[in-house]
Amino acid sequence: MSVSDVTDKIPEYGNTIYTFESLKNTVYNDTPAMYVFRPSIDQYKRCLSRENRKEFRMLLKANKFQFHVILPEGILDTGVAAFFQCTSLISVTLPEGIEEITNDAFAECSSLTSINLPEGLHKIGTRAFQGCSSLAVATLPQGLQVLGGSAFDGCSSLTSVTLPQGLQWIAVNVFRGCSSLTAVTLQQGLQVIGAGAFQGCSSLISVNLPRGLQRVEESAFQGCSSLTTVTLPYGIRNMGQNVFLGCSNLQVIHAPEYTKMDKIRKGLGIASNATIVYTSDDIKSAQSAVNLRGHGKLKLHF
């Protein structure tokens, strides 16, 4: 959603508020309704100042109000915990040129349904959208370099995610508890999937891990009870314990021959009735050993 898209909808949303003082007057004196809050850069800084930040958050959780926030051009980041627990926040429009969504910026904004993530955004901080249980779509922009731990943890309405090319690391618990997530697209260039990254994504059906992936950490897909198929790429070197524990419907795992997955399936949490299909590839990994930490530590040579 662009700035112009939101501007076009302002009559539908209701009156526009431009200052911190007007925001206070509206919440304290007016009838609950939909409002657009569109501060200048100076007014936004005032909202996040030490003396005002607590009240600012309180205003945006006012009962029966709904707010659509358009952040000003010229800001480079949202500010740490800027909208933490702002439960009356419905949507956000970020400006072109913003580079970072900082830690806890929108954490526990349980009514947030939409936010645009502009090209040029480089970092989404730790817990940035944790507990945003109404957020259904997250389109991550090309050029995103850092996706912090627990960034979308507990976003239980999130249905699909496409990760951009160039993102090398999915941090710990990024999509944990995204129970409506049915599809995830992982691009080449990804090297590490962190511990618990997709734990409890109980609607996720299949995962195709990209070539170049080197490590899948412990419990990464634990509790993905709808997961039926997984494809492991050539070149994978490390897998942590219980990666697939509780994946009760996992039927087929496609894996390179050198992994000898059948020997370490127990430590990875793979059910005994799952079928492992070994694949071959003309391109051999440059490594001479694979460390798959399924049950204790086992080095496999190929």
User: What pLDDT score does 162 carry?
Assistant: 86
Would you say residue 154 lies in a domain? no
Poorest-pLDDT segment among 155-159, 218-222, 257-261: 257-261
Phi-psi label, residue 79: left if phi above 0, alpha if psi -120 to 50, beta otherwise: left
Residue 169 sits in the same domain as residue 289: yes
Residue 188 sits in the same domain as residue 268: yes
Residue 87 sits in the same domain as residue 183: no
Would you say residue 148 lies in a domain? no
Residue 68 sits in the same domain as residue 165: no
> Which amino acid does the sequence have at 243?
V
pLDDT band at 281 (very low <50, low <70, confident <90, very high): low
Separation of alpha carbons 275 and 254, rounded Å: 9
DSSP secondary structure, 8-48, as one string: HTHHHH-EEE-SHHHHHHHHHHSPP-EEEE---HHHHHHHT
Domain that includes residue 73, residue range: 1-118
Q: H helices within the chain, ranges in order? A: 3-8, 10-13, 20-29, 41-47, 53-59, 265-268
Residue 165 sits in the same domain as residue 300: yes
Q: End-to-end alpha-carbon separation of the chain, Å?
A: 49
User: What pLDDT score does 283 carry?
Assistant: 44
Cβ distance 151 to 174 under 8 Å? yes
> Which amino acid does the sequence have at 79?
G
Would you say residue 125 lies in a domain? no
Residue 193 sits in the same domain as residue 256: yes
Q: What is the mean pLDDT of residues 194-223?
A: 95
Cβ of 133: how many Cβ atoms within 10 Å?
19
Would you say residue 235 lies in a domain? yes
Separation of alpha carbons 140 and 78, rounded Å: 16
Indicate the residue among 99, 118, 137 that finishes a domain. Answer: 118
pLDDT digits (tens, 9 = 90+) for 64-85: 999 999 999 999 999 999 999 9
Q: The tokens of 186 are what?
A: 């992982």
Q: What is the mean pLDDT of residues 177-189?
A: 93
Residue 175 sits in the same domain as residue 230: yes
Q: The tokens of 93 are what?
A: 């429009």
Separation of alpha carbons 178 and 176, rounded Å: 6
What's the sign of the alpha-carbon dihedral 133, 136, 141, 144? positive
Would you say residue 65 lies in a domain? yes
Q: Is 268 in a helix, a strand, or coil?
A: helix
Which pTM value belongs to this model?
0.89
Res. 96: pLDDT tops 80: yes
> CATH no. for residue 248?
3.80.10.10
Separation of alpha carbons 300 and 2, rounded Å: 51
How many domains are contained in the chain? 2
Q: What is the mean pLDDT of residues 132-156?
A: 95
Indicate the residue among 63, 97, 118 that finishes a domain. Answer: 118
Would you say residue 128 lies in a domain? no
Residue 87 sits in the same domain as residue 180: no
Would you say residue 190 lies in a domain? yes
Separation of alpha carbons 286 and 281, rounded Å: 13
Cβ of 138: how many Cβ atoms within 10 Å?
23
Which of these, 126, 127, 179, lies nearest to 156 by C-alpha position? 179
Residue 99 sits in the same domain as residue 237: no
Question: Could you tell me whether strands 146-147 and 169-170 are parallel, antiparallel, or unpaired per DSSP bridges?
Answer: unpaired
Cβ distance 167 to 143 under 8 Å? no
Residue 166 sits in the same domain as residue 302: yes
User: What pLDDT score does 298 carry?
Assistant: 31
Would you say residue 138 lies in a domain? no
Q: Is 137 in a helix, a strand, or coil?
A: strand
Indicate the residue among 65, 88, 118 that finishes a domain. Answer: 118
Residue 73 sits in the same domain as residue 202: no
